Structure 1
Amino acid sequence: MVASQIHLVRHGEVHNPLRVLYGRLPGYRLSELGEKMAAAAADDLADRGREITRLVASPLQRAQESAVSISERFGVEIETDERIIEPTNHFEGTVMRLALRNPANWVALRNPRKPSWGEPYVSIVARMLDAVRDAWETTPSGDVVLVSHQLPIWMVHSALGHGRLPHDPRDRRCALSSITTFEHRDGVFVEVGYTDPAGALAVGATDVGAV
């Protein structure tokens, strides 16, 4: 037996008053609004009436905290998987609009198709799909939730939907605390749903974690 569905859940809003592109930097926790967003994601999963038997999160604080509501709602422990972490980024720790004015940073923008400013898209896809397959194969029954980050989740969506990996970050459909759901059908993973349970909370939210 294997898992029924895989739900890729993005973390909620992060406390980031300086609007720093935080990437993998430690110490970036959920804001109060982010905690409400994470609870909304847990409510959405519960309202589906599905059995969540496993919960895995990125090691970053915002993902671990976002997993807490799901853990408490379904009575499952939080496991940690390094493979679903935020990608590396040249601009980590900067305010993006200011960093782009510095000519010393322009070399990092030389190849947006790779991208040259961080972990290659193909690398993100490879590690994320490994994590998704492992979660599916090693879970005897029920659904698995993976709490991750915007770009890794979007890469899974693009790769499995046969979309182009290079893209404009502003075009990603992966809101804070959104849920992208996959099933394994005829030997391949297929996206079967996307919800934005925290959409009503997102007005004015800060969302500048990565590029």
Structure 2
Amino acid sequence: MWFYFAGVFASTVDLPGGTPLSTDTGKAFPVTIRAFVDSNNDGAFNSGESYNNTIDQVYTGFLKLVKESRIIQGSGSAVATNDSTFSTTVKKPGVGNIIEYRITYTNISSVPIGSNNATMSATGIIITENGNSTNNNWAKDNDGNRTVDTSHVFNTAIDPAGIVTYLNLGAAVTDAIGVNITTYLDTIPGPLQPGQSRTFSFQRKVN
């Protein structure tokens, strides 16, 4: 996509409806803006006229999160090979097995090259893992036996770049053995620079 301008200008870029998220495609949408000296005053760029190109990278989101899981044997039965490695596929844990969740968050924006480029760093990131929600069920009593289906494994909620806090149905609790934790909050001060990636992981034992 090209835009041609002569003189002083301000521009906006309107992407068409249905444009995919940059976090899905892994890239921005480049828009080249050409400023040129209209030496013959015809309103068009012609060969031989002085010009300068500026490429605006338009991002429809630039912080990508990928959640994976794997099964660790723990005190339960042996784990199938396909379930023992991190992936986004559905796993089949048994009683006593441990589910380890790993969330990888990445700043997919390009590292600036050259001068006068803006840097898209991510700051103030908060990852909320609520196990008693529509998207997660690891802190629910799905089988109705009055026991939460998985229990927090002490000292396993880790993000070297973040600060992890714990909630039990909205009330703040501590990371201790036997404490019922239903939500993890991972607060990452940042900045997460272009191209950088970090991980947040935690473990739950199947009851």
Q: Shared fold (TM-score greater than 0.5)?
A: no
Higher relative contact order (CA 8 A, sep 6+): 1
TM range (shorter): under 0.3
Larger radius of gyration: 2
Query: TM-score under structure 1 normalisation?
Result: 0.23
Query: TM-score under structure 2 normalisation?
Result: 0.23
